[in-house]
Amino acid sequence: MTAHEARLCGLLLREHFGEVVEKIGTHLLRSGAQNLRTIVNESGTPIDLVKKSLCVLMKHGACIFSVGRKGPGSPVEYQASCERILGILRYPRYIYTAKTLYNDTGELIVEELLQRGHMTMSSIVKMVADRLTHNMEEGRSIEYKEVVSTFSKLVETHFLQRCPPVSEAVPAVSTAPTIPGAAAAPASTAPPTAESFPDCYTVPDVSLVGRGKRRRSGEDAVMDQGTTKKAKMDGQTHGDEGIYWQVNFERFHLHFRDQTIISAVASKLDQTSSEIVRTMLRMSEVTTTPSASCTQALSANEIFRSLPANYSISRPILDQYLSLLVDDPMEFVGKTGDSGGGMYVVNLHRALTNLARATLESVVQERFGSRSARIFRLLLRKRHLEQKQVEDFAMIPAKEAKDMLYTLLSENLVLLQEIPKTPDHAPSRTFYLYTVNQLSTARMLLQHCYKTVANLIDRRLFQTKESKRLLEKSQRIEAIMASLQASGAEPEQLTEVEEMISAPEKQQLESLRHHINKLDSAENQVDETIFLLKSYVNSTAKTTR
Amino acid sequence: MADVKVKKECDPADAALIENRIKELCQQFPQGITDQVIQNDMPHLEATQRAMVINKLLSLGQLDLLRNSSGLLYRMKDAQAASKMKGSDNQEKLVYQIIEDAGNKGIWTRDMRFKSNLPLTEVNKILKNLESKKLIKAVKSVAASKKKVYMLYNVQPDRSVTGGAWYSDQDFESEFVEVLNQQCFKFLQSKAEVARDSKQSPMIQRNSSFATSHEVWKYISELGISKVDLSMEDIETILNTLIYDGKVEMTIIAAKEGTVGSVDGQMKLFRGVNPVIQPTGLVKTPCGLCPVFDECHEGGEISPSRCIYMTEWLNF
Ligand code: SF4
């Protein structure tokens, strides 16, 4: 884990869980696996706070525990997961995806789960039903049944899964300590995945009847804490106690990956081609393992049958589209055989590689101009070139080309390789070759992304802090207005209160809101870059292993 | 046969042929040839045409006109070189020889020195001398701006020395290149658009969006934006820059021998393509483009809180 990742993790933890959790979380990230006593000592935090922080982290999957490395009986050790913490950045995207796939209900289910880490099905259903009802018109409400059906769909499509039972998790790891030293470390970093349990995607029978209840406004604060809720629920059982659910991030990521590929096809080729690729990806969703470098082969016949009904293209046209896709240099789709009218796969790894390359190119293009980007692409394509060759191929005058190459070199976007003709490495008898290493460049830009997001968050916190007084004032006034309205005050009275915020102040609030929104959406956009680069790096690691 | 020749009278290539023949004859008879000799050699040649060619050679100073007992005599001015070289010593002749051998690539003073075994000052003196007699000339090479190469006065410098169509006075015409780059792309793009709008089957659409390098070359030549004549390879070089710009793709197909624009039975096809992705999220933020990215730390001299790039971007 790098310094940039650590800083970003810290900021994310502070934003979501407060400063104490931030302190413990970053401490754990920096130190690696540690037992409770060491954490308390080294972080200088009271033990009960440490315990609570660990509990919060664990609930969100940001921290795992395992039996100590020193053998059975040694104290349990805790380890924070950087990747999971960085995942917090992606919460808005998970929620938004759930909304596009499964409407408001899906959105709320995922949102609640993300906020709380894990919950039982019955409590989610109730909570979501209540919230939906609250947003409906007076006198209407939603049935639990409907929420249950959306929930089941989310589970069916593997977007939600059961948390792995804890009692089984420990023995699975405790086999490791017999191997001393290094060998034990990877064992303890790989906790049992949820997928390894057979019931992972089975929805339990729950007896849930009723409808969502409308909250009365007075109850708001308390209900949000969820404490009264629990107290109330304790009275009745639904038959799913002890079965907790969590968001299956992996599955969401596969979905994001597919969407990225589909939209790239749409922009490079056309809508119909992207629809064909979407169909292919959908068909192989179940049959292809998450780490596969390409999907299961599909015959043109099968694809034709599975195309959405409203896409009325004839069979020969489909064949043409497929062969165009195969011909395209982005290599989204490959042909593996001729049976069944031709067997086709989606080249997941290739597509990611090519998209990551396009991303790197776009960074160079935007940052250093299109002619530097020309040089960069040239090097990506031709691998190794001397300066003179770069000038000739790119048709850029020697002086400018040199300038651009040196700039790119100093930013580590291109590399310079020396190949001496004689063992003395004399410069006059040495070839100097420029080259680009796509993987390491992607890794570097990934770090840039982490730093950028951290900068954006920093700036956002700063902006809010600057206007803290103003924000508090406007909140106070809003509260007063609300209570006045509730008590049926005179309109003059209301305007009087409203005018307590002056026009310039209003303007300031307005621009603050604008700034915060802009920073927020920029964070999400950078996360898309992070996602693509990360997927590419991971996928490359998998295929070369 | 004869009237074919007559018809081709104004063909410059033909004139060159005659010119060469006359020169050969002169060489054969170093003491000189009469008009009659030429007439005998090329009986079908019309008097006017003969006169034209001879006049040209005379004005170029390649032939000498002499008068003797038997009338007018033409003689190759080859002796001319010798006559010009008259008064020059062996060293000068040696240097001249070396330069002649270098052909249209020219030769550098340094190399001349090694080959002639003369001291640099001597070589320079001789070069000045020869230059003033207009026997040789100095040409600046595009490969190295300070490097001068020498070649015979009437030799056309090689492409590697002048840099070809992209150089004027050994300056790379980068604006010219960019203009051509844009024009080629416009051509391919409009072609792709027409193909898209044709609503044909996808395969036909794609195929009709392709243009051969010959087509592009023709389009550019007809546009008349270039002062110099561009070859098809020149245009392909430009098209290649478009490939590196990520705007164009190329396919090579087999072509029937003799098809326009095919080289060695192959034809290069180009077409404009859409980008796969929009600018990525990172570069939509000020930090993605920031020149002081590495110096930026919270609490430092340059920090996100006080960053002016951020302020500008937020207020945009
Ligand atoms: S915050 Fe400002 S100074 Fe820092 S990296 Fe971003 S743009 Fe550059």
Q: Which residues of B touch A511 (CB under 8 A)?
A: 315
Per-residue model confidence (pLDDT) at position A233:
47
Q: What is the 3-state secondary structure (H, E, C) of B132-157?
A: HCCCEEEEECCCCCCCEEEEECCCCC
Q: Which residue has the higher pLDDT, B128 or A241?
A: B128
CB within 8 Å of chain B, chain A residues 428-467: 445, 448-449, 451-452, 455-456, 458-459, 462
Per-residue model confidence (pLDDT) at position A180:
39
Per-residue model confidence (pLDDT) at position A181:
39
Token pair 């409590």 is found at: A123
Per-residue model confidence (pLDDT) at position A418:
86
Q: What's the CA-to-centroid distance between A414 and ligand 1, angstroms?
A: 23
Q: Which residues of A touch B298 (CB under 8 A)?
A: 458
Residue A467, pLDDT > 80, answer yes
Q: What is the mean pLDDT of residues B83-99?
A: 71
User: Computed from CA positions of residues A204, A210, A214, A215, in that sequence, does the dihedral angle turn out positive or negative?
Assistant: negative
Contact A448 B206 (CB under 8 A): no
| Residue A369 burial (CB count, 10 A) | 12
pLDDT digits 0-9 by tens, A149-170: 888 888 888 888 888 776 444 4
**Distance separating alpha carbons of residues A31 and A26, to the nearest angstrom:** 9
Residue B131, pLDDT > 70, answer yes
Q: Which residues of A touch B284 (CB under 8 A)?
A: 522, 525
Q: Ligand 1, from B306, B307, B312: best to mutate by most atoms within 8 Å of Cβ? A: B307
Q: Which residue has the higher pLDDT, B174 or A532?
A: A532
**Distance separating alpha carbons of residues A164 and A243, to the nearest angstrom:** 9
CB within 8 Å of chain B, chain A residues 377-396: 377-378, 381, 393-396
Q: Ligand 1, from B297, B302, B311: best to mutate by most atoms within 8 Å of Cβ? A: B302
Q: Distance from first CA to last CA of chain A, Å, rounded?
A: 21
**A431: part of which helix (H) or strand (E)?**
strand A430-435
Indicate if ligand 1 lies below 6 Å from the C-beta of B313.
no
Q: Which residue has the higher pLDDT, B157 or B193?
A: B193
> Which residue(s) pair with B184 in the sheet?
none
Indicate if ligand 1 lies below 6 Å from the C-beta of B232.
no
pLDDT band at A537 (very low <50, low <70, confident <90, very high): very high
**A228: part of which helix (H) or strand (E)?**
helix A227-233
**Distance separating alpha carbons of residues B192 and B197, to the nearest angstrom:** 9
User: β-strands A77-80, A415-420: how paired?
Assistant: unpaired
Asked if ipTM goes beyond 0.85, one says: no
Per-residue model confidence (pLDDT) at position A166:
63
Query: How close is the nearest chain B Cα to the Cα of A152, in Å?
Result: 34
**Distance separating alpha carbons of residues A294 and A349, to the nearest angstrom:** 6
Q: Which of A249, A259, A120 is nearest to A195 (CA)?
A: A249
Q: What are the phi and psi torsion angles at A419 (to 5°)?
A: -125, 100
Q: Which of B97, A456, B226, A528 is nearest to A536 (CA)?
A: A528
Q: Ligand 1 atom closest to Cα of B302?
A: 3
pTM score, two decimals? 0.77
Per-residue model confidence (pLDDT) at position A156:
85
pLDDT band at A211 (very low <50, low <70, confident <90, very high): low
> Which residue(s) pair with B263 in the sheet?
B266
Q: What are the phi and psi torsion angles at A404 (to 5°)?
A: -65, -45
pLDDT digits 0-9 by tens, A131-141: 888 877 766 77
pLDDT digits 0-9 by tens, B23-72: 777 777 767 777 777 777 777 777 787 777 777 777 766 776 777 766 77
Q: What is the mean pLDDT of residues A296-303?
A: 87
pLDDT digits 0-9 by tens, A47-103: 888 888 888 888 888 888 877 666 666 778 888 888 888 888 899 999 999 999 988
**Distance separating alpha carbons of residues A235 and A257, to the nearest angstrom:** 44
Which residue in the set A268, A365, A377 is minimally distant from B276, CB to CB? A268
Write down the mean pLDDT value for chain A: 81
Per-residue model confidence (pLDDT) at position A198:
66
| Residue B254 burial (CB count, 10 A) | 9
Look up residue A76 and give its amino acid: V
Q: Do the Cβ atoms of B166 and A395 come closer than 8 Å?
A: yes
pLDDT band at A363 (very low <50, low <70, confident <90, very high): very high
Q: Do the Cβ atoms of A256 and A97 come closer than 8 Å?
A: yes
Q: What's the CA-to-centroid distance between B297 and ligand 1, angstroms?
A: 9
Query: How close is the nearest chain A Cα to the Cα of B289, in Å?
Result: 5
**Distance separating alpha carbons of residues A448 and A4, to the nearest angstrom:** 8
Residue B2, pLDDT > 50, answer no
Query: Can you give the C-alpha Rg of chain B in angstroms?
Result: 31
pLDDT band at B164 (very low <50, low <70, confident <90, very high): low
Q: Token digits for A400? A: 């400018």
Which residue in the set B202, B238, B310 is minimally distant from A459, CB to CB? B310
Contact B281 A526 (CB under 8 A): yes
Q: Which residues of B touch A277 (CB under 8 A)?
A: none
Query: Can you give the C-alpha Rg of chain A in angstroms?
Result: 28
Q: What is the mean pLDDT of residues B77-90?
A: 58
Q: What is the mean pLDDT of residues A402-421?
A: 89
Q: Which residues of B touch A329 (CB under 8 A)?
A: 249
CB pairs under 8 A between A and B: 138
Per-residue model confidence (pLDDT) at position B169:
62
Q: Ligand 1 atom closest to Cα of B313?
A: 7
Q: Which residues of A touch B277 (CB under 8 A)?
A: 264, 267, 355, 358-359, 362
Q: What is the mean pLDDT of residues B103-122?
A: 80
DSSP string, chain B: -HHHHHHGGG-HHHHHHHHHHHHHHHHHSTT-B-HHHHHHH-TT--HHHHHHHHHHHHHHTSEEEEEETTEEEEEETHHHHHHHHTT--HHHHHHHHHHHHHGGG-EEHHHHHHHHT--HHHHHHHHHHHHHTTSEEEEE-SSSTT-EEEEETTPPPPHHHH-GGGEETTEE-HHHHHHHHHHHHHHHHHHHHHHHHTT--HHHHHHHT-EEHHHHHHHHHHHT--SSPPPHHHHHHHHHHHHHTTSEEEEEEE--TT-TT-BTTEEEEEEE---SSPSPGGGGSTGGG-TTGGGB-TTSSB-TTT-HHHHHHHH-
**Distance separating alpha carbons of residues B241 and A436, to the nearest angstrom:** 18
Which residue in the set B241, B246, B249 is minimally distant from A394, CB to CB? B241
Q: Which residue has the higher pLDDT, A158 or A233?
A: A158
Residue having the nearest C-alpha atom to atom 2 of ligand 1: B307
Indicate if ligand 1 lies below 6 Å from the C-beta of B307.
yes
pLDDT band at B77 (very low <50, low <70, confident <90, very high): low
CA dihedral angle for residue A497, residue A502, residue A503, residue A509, rounded to 10 degrees? -90
Q: Which of A462, A457, A463, A449 is nearest to A525 (CA)?
A: A449
Per-residue model confidence (pLDDT) at position A526:
92
pLDDT digits 0-9 by tens, A315-335: 888 888 888 888 888 888 988
**Distance separating alpha carbons of residues B213 and B239, to the nearest angstrom:** 8
pLDDT band at B207 (very low <50, low <70, confident <90, very high): confident
Q: Which residues of A touch B303 (CB under 8 A)?
A: 458
Residue B190, pLDDT > 90, answer no
**Distance separating alpha carbons of residues A135 and B302, to the nearest angstrom:** 46
Query: How close is the nearest chain A Cα to the Cα of B275, in Å?
Result: 6
Q: Is residue A527 within 8 angstroms of chain B, CB to CB?
A: yes
Q: Do the Cβ atoms of B19 and B56 come closer than 8 Å?
A: yes
Contact A525 B285 (CB under 8 A): yes
Comparing A23-32, A498-507, B241-250, the range with the smallest average pLDDT is: A498-507
Q: SS3 for A74?
A: coil
